[in-house]
Structure 1
Amino acid sequence: MKKASVLFVCMGNICRSPAAEGVLHALAEKAGLDLHIDSAGTEGYHVGERSDSRMRSAARKRGVEMTTLARQVVAADLSPGAFDLVIAMDHANLRRLKAIAGGPLSEHVQLFSSFLDDTWPTEVPDPYYGGEDGFEQVLDMLEAGCPVILETLGRCGDHGS
């Protein structure tokens, strides 16, 4: 069986989605799970760049390393066989994914907030233009939702050990 996989998506792939990739990777590693975890942006503004230094710094303080380089999502990423879950950080990126797919999205494409309880916002806010507290809020949300994603991936298929 193929290992379970997830793709996190935000706009530029330098703040929210690579942080989610890092948080889920750290959780999976701690649990001894072998998953395919990736992230991408709906726009190509930052392709090939490292994640935002403010997000890397905030994540590092929590023991999360962010090492990937930004890439843009492509239509093939959205086909049902490519990833078990494709998780958009907000409604705007979910709409953009629909445009990239060229039609309706299958149910394996979801909003990150579907893995959070009702006490959290319905979107992971983009911290790029805000202060340091925005990066912390995003990480709080990711740390709350990623354990639920791990459980969901466990139901999607064999994620190895």
Structure 2
Amino acid sequence: MKNILFVCLGNICRSPMAEYVFRDMAAQRGIQAACKSAGTSGWHNGETMHCGTADILDGMNIDSRDFVSSQVPDDCMQVYDYVLVMDDNNLRDMQKRFGKNPHKLFKITDLLPENSPHDHVPDPWYTGNFVQTREIVSQCCAILCDKLQKGEM
């Protein structure tokens, strides 16, 4: 069983969406994987996810009522097989804290085909576009599931 951590800045928009979308996809495909999400900042520790993310997940019939925001734990590189971040800033913050480990720590959009127009997951806290975030995260999570099923990760 693989353990996966999804990371964004505040852990209330992008990374919780990735956590719950991946968990749902993995369960539907029978993939044995555990996942969690966390933020680099800790600004929202103990809070629920952003209502925009919750609305997207509700629209996908994914129950997210048990979510509580948290900061990236100190032992994340020991606990998780993969740590997938949402953008370059998250990657830099994580590399400063834990060092470079490109086989374990990378942007979720690195899973997308090279011709993809997306090199990061835009933060809907700023863009307001939770649908765009869902589309990118869903595509990345589907590819992640494919790779796990094929034993490529």
**Maintained 8 Å contact 1:84/1:156:** no
The aligned residue for residue 147 of structure 2 is 152
Is 1:100 aligned to residue 97 of structure 2?
A: yes
Distance 1:43 1:25 in 2: 23
Distance 2:73 2:95 in 1: 11
The aligned residue for residue 115 of structure 1 is 111
Q: CA deviation at 1:43?
A: 0.5
The aligned residue for residue 142 of structure 1 is 137
Secondary structure (helix, strand or coil) at the match of 2:126 reads coil
**Maintained 8 Å contact 2:31/2:145:** no
The aligned residue for residue 13 of structure 1 is 11
Q: CA deviation at 1:153?
A: 3.0
What is the aligned length?
Answer: 150
- Stretches (4+) displaced over 3 A: none
TM-score (norm 1): 0.86
The aligned residue for residue 72 of structure 1 is 71
The aligned residue for residue 46 of structure 2 is 48
Identity %: 30
Distance 2:120 2:31 in 1: 27
TM-score (norm 2): 0.90
Letter in 2 for 1:115: L
5+ long unaligned stretches in structure 1:
none
Note the aligned Cα RMSD (angstroms). 1.6
Secondary structure (helix, strand or coil) at the match of 1:95 reads helix
Distance 2:55 2:23 in 1: 17
